[in-house]
């Protein structure tokens, strides 16, 4: 886990050394500056997570420096320090935006508590911003199918290492959710998760977006610095323009870069995770994607299955998004009865989880009554049903070998009735005329987790 980086700005050498030793003993990374000029240089080289700033310094006072930094796009928490400040000075510092004020001689216990609270406050603000931007993202992937269980297990193991991961899958299949799940299970979980749709970045602005810029003494931090200590997620990386590919390749190979308009070499600690709906191998062969960048990003590849390949998760996804829209958007609750769930399990879902989410929202907004009816589902799907072939008349397992088709049918059939009888194996056994011992054996062989349905 990357420890917070703290910049100590004070003109007294003894105080700088004391603070550096105490904070490093607590596990923080510490840089020190003896005046405003040195502080500017350190801050330009590395965006700190927190600044301890003395008010009275020989070349320039801390209040002036605080005002200057407040003009930047992002300002980390600043804790002001002084042994000669008046109450008015302390009030002005906090009014301007300082997190807190500490009086010298410093109480080390109070210092450490204040530093810890300031960093926690900044972390919560980042999380809140992330929640506001991505409120529709589940905490973890939804579904108990064998495919999703296997994927979750792989991600948890990968999360403990810093290897770059490439998620490959169809649009709407949940690649970003999985990337966030990877981050949340990694030692970087307390760091930022920064996601960017790389195809939306115009080539002429790509350098500024990734590396930041310096203009008129102001610093705009790019995506790489914003993700320092955490994860940078490059969504649909195959859509990246050639010029952007080249710039990102250079930064990843050297682990350093310079901001546009700046001269300092910046180094950051970031885990890169990417996704693509296209085959990057084909993109490389067609000359649309740089081979070197492909090798850098593709250390580990995880294939994200389309929803039609784990359709047994459809009922749980329906419940999840009903609850989501009821709680988040205050839409009226409506139940998807078993026949509707079964119909939707056999729908091909070309838009995957995103299509299912949109369908649920549409049915809750436009529908009426406590239950969702099959006719309104078909009407809501509209022309999409044309691609479903005979969703009700010709299931997708008709084209499979007999053994696989039989297993697919048996699994759908048993899950349908198990849901119908509220998870009761005894009632299921009686209804379908299969002795209970044989039924238990059949449920286990098909991977149906009947105990969880009770």
Do residues 58 and 179 both lie within one domain?
Answer: no
Residues 286 and 154 in one domain: yes
What pLDDT score does 391 carry?
Answer: 43
| Average pLDDT of the segment spanning 232-246 | 90
Q: Note whether 325 and 246 are same-domain residues.
A: no
Is residue 248 a contact partner of residue 293, using CB atoms and an 8 Å limit? yes
Highest mean pLDDT among 130-139, 210-219, 310-319: 310-319
When pLDDT is cut at 50, 70 and 90, the band that residue 452 belongs to is: very low
Instruction: Answer whether residue 170 shows pLDDT above 90.
Output: yes
Mean pLDDT (whole number) for 31-49? 86
Q: Quote the mean pLDDT of the chain.
A: 85
Shortest CA distance to 177 belongs to which of 302, 1, 360? 302
| pLDDT tens, residue by residue, 112-128 | 999 999 988 887 776 55
- Residue 97 CA: distances (Å) to CA of 9, 74, 192, 226: 17, 12, 22, 20
Mean pLDDT of 14-28: 92
**For residue 416, with 0-12 CB atoms within 10 Å meaning exposed, 13-18 middle and 19 or more buried, which class applies?**
middle
Residues 276 and 406 placed together within one structural domain of the fold:
no
Specify if 361 maps to a domain: yes
pLDDT attached to residue 199 = 76
Percent of the chain with pLDDT over 70: 90
Q: Are residues 276 and 318 in the same domain?
A: no
The DSSP bridge pattern shows strands 256-258 and 265-267 to be antiparallel
Per-residue pLDDT at 71: 72
pLDDT range class, residue 453, cuts 50, 70, 90 = very low
- pTM of the full predicted structure? 0.67
User: Which is higher by pLDDT, 175 or 386?
Assistant: 175
Residues 163 and 268 in one domain: yes
**Residues 333, 279 within the same domain:** no
| Domain edge (last residue) among 371, 392, 413 | 392
**pLDDT surpassing 90 at residue 305:** yes
Q: What is the CATH number of the domain that holds 150?
A: 3.40.50.300
Total domains, the chain: 4
Q: Is 268 helix (H, G, I), strand (E, B) or coil?
A: coil
Domain match, 119 and 238 both: no
Query: By residue range, what is the domain housing residue 66?
Result: 5-132
What is the SS3 assignment for 14-68? HHHHHHHHHHHHCCCEEEEECCHHHHHHHHHHCCCCEEEEECCCCCCCHHHHHHH
CA distance 210 to 136: 25
Residue 49, token pair as written in the block: 């997570």
pLDDT of residue 392: 43
Please check whether residue 137 lies inside any domain of the structure. no
Residue 398 binned pLDDT confidence (cut-offs 50, 70, 90): low
């Amino acid at each position: 886990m990357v420890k917070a980086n703290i910049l100590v700005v004070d003109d007294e050498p003894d105080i700088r050394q004391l603070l550096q030793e105490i904070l490093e003993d607590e596990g923080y990374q510490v840089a020190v500056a003896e005046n405003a000029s040195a502080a500017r240089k350190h801050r330009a080289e590395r965006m700190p997570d927190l600044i301890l700033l003395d008010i009275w310094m020989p070349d320039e006072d801390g209040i002036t420096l605080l005002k200057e930094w407040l003009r930047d796009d992002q300002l980390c928490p600043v804790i002001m320090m002084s042994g000669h400040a008046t109450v008015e000075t302390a009030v002005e510092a906090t009014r301007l935006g300082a997190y807190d004020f500490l009086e010298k001689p410093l109480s080390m216990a109070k210092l450490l508590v204040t530093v810890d609270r300031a960093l926690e406050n900044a972390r919560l603000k980042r999380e809140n911003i992330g929640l506001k931007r991505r409120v529709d993202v589940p905490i973890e992937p939804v579904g108990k199918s064998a495919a999703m269980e296997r994927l979750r297990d792989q991600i948890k193991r990968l999360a403990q290492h810093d290897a770059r991961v490439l998620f490959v899958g169809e649009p709407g299949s949940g690649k970003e959710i999985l990337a966030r799940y990877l981050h949340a299970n990694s030692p970087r979980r307390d760091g930022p998760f920064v996601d960017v749709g790389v195809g939306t970045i115009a080539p002429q602005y790509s350098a500024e977006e990734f590396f930041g810029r310096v203009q008129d003494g102001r610093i705009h931090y790019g995506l790489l610095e914003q993700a320092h200590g955490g994860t940078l997620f490059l969504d649909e990386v195959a859509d990246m323009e050639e010029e952007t590919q080249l710039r990102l390749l250079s930064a990843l190979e050297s682990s350093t870069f310079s901001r546009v308009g700046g001269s300092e070499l910046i180094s950051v600690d970031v885990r890169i995770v990417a996704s693509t709906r296209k085959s990057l191998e084909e993109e490389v062969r067609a000359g649309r994607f740089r081979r070197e960048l492909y090798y850098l990003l593709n250390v580990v590849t995880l294939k994200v299955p389309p929803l039609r390949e784990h359709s047994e998760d459809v009922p749980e996804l329906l419940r999840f998004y009903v609850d989501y829209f009821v709680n988040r958007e205050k839409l009226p609750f409506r139940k998807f009865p078993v026949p509707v769930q079964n119909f939707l399990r056999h729908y091909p879902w070309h838009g995957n989880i995103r299509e299912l989410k949109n369908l649920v929202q549409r049915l809750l907004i436009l529908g009426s009554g406590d239950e969702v009816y099959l006719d309104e589902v078909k009407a809501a799907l509209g022309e999409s049903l044309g691609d479903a072939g005979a969703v009700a008349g010709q299931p997708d397992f008709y084209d499979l070998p007999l053994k696989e088709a039989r297993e697919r049918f048996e699994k759908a059939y048993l899950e349908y009735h198990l849901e119908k009888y509220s998870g009761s194996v005894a009632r299921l056994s009686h209804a379908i005329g299969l002795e209970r011992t044989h039924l238990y054996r059949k449920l286990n062989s098909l991977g149906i987790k009947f105990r969880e349905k009770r």
